[in-house]
Amino acid sequence: MHIGITPWEMRDLSAASLSSQAHRAEQLGFESFFLPENHFSAGALPEPLMLLAAVASATSTIRLGTTSYLLPVRHPIAAAEQVAVLDQLCNGRVILGLGRGFAANMFTAFGVDSRQKRQIFTDNLNLMLRAWAGEAIEVDADKDAIEIHPLPVQRPHPELWVAAFGPKALAQVAALNLPYLASPMEPLSVLAANYQSIRDSGTSAGELVGVPVMRSVFVSTNRNEVEAVRRGLVDAKFPRQEETIEVDDWALVGDPAFVSDQVARYRETLGMTHLIVTRPRVQGLPLEQIERSVALIADTLIAA
């Protein structure tokens, strides 16, 4: 199974910090390093490809991914070029997780009608696929068609996943026949229902082409550390969930044996092929504890 990770130190988003974390993840054996995209808030990451370009120079084997590269707010030709350039910079290591976005102020700021975001997403993706294939794109009936250069190293294009939340988004993913990147904000029972709905959709996605799942993960042999993290997560509330969700339904927190068993449960229940590890969002959790957890995750899920 493929084990990836997101940054565990998000207070410092400098090239040096992100590159150092990705390099450490590569040393520990993680197979991918992912960045999200978000806008207009403290600690925002509006340009994940630019940050991954910096990370590319500090790594050599780890794959570089986005969890939610937001197509509706981008020009598709520019986006196709930027992704291709990053794939060239890192010699074919890009995994492009795509998203539509949900924040109303983002769509307003970029002049996008949020009611059209799914159609814009599909239109932009289709144009990008044509551009990556080397197809001549007609941009004006009175002018010559254009082709992008360079093309991605990966042919016909980098690996594509689609983040989805809600029935409409899931239906779109199924129609695209691309892996659905499961949210870290939904319990296991919801994910199982989501994957079943994709299987039952009657589209070509009935045979799942990959099952990547994001989860908050914390591993420690210190019982007090584990209990502190669990207490910090126990009151978490998520969209579309009226009641508090049990920690074990949406996070993997415990000693190595427990977390290993939980991963096996996800594999059996969902057919999980990729686990993308995210840090537990617990206020005041010391960085040294998170770093020890990252190393233990590698020992537990990779080295084993």
pLDDT of residue 205: 47
Tokens in use for 154?
């990966």
Q: List beta partners, residue 214.
A: 276
Is 284 exposed, middle or buried, given 0-12, 13-18 or 19+ CB atoms closer than 10 A? exposed
pLDDT of residue 43: 84
pLDDT of residue 200: 82
Task: Give the three-class secondary structure for 64.
Answer: strand
pLDDT in tens, the chain (304 residues): 999 999 999 999 999 999 999 999 999 999 999 999 999 988 889 999 999 999 999 999 999 999 999 999 999 999 999 999 999 999 999 999 999 998 999 999 999 999 999 999 999 999 999 999 999 998 877 778 999 999 999 999 999 999 988 888 888 888 888 899 988 888 999 999 998 888 887 655 445 678 999 999 999 999 999 999 999 998 665 555 556 678 999 999 999 999 999 999 999 999 999 999 999 989 889 999 999 999 999 999 997 6
How many CA atoms within 13 Å lie on the side-chain side of 193?
A: 8
Cβ atoms within 10 Å of 224's Cβ, excluding its own:
8
Cβ-contact 65, 35 below 8 angstroms? yes
Residues 6+ apart with CB under 8 A from 94: 52, 63, 64, 65, 83, 86, 87, 152, 154, 158, 159
pTM recorded for the entire structure: 0.94
Identify the DSSP state of 132.
H
DSSP calls for 27-42 = HHT-SEEEE----SST
Domains annotated for the chain, with CATH where assigned, are 2-214 (3.20.20.30)
Tokens in use for 183?
């949210």
What CA–CA distance (Å, rounded) separates 189 from 131?
39
Q: Mutual orientation of helices 117-132 and 167-176 as an angle, nearest 10°? A: 20
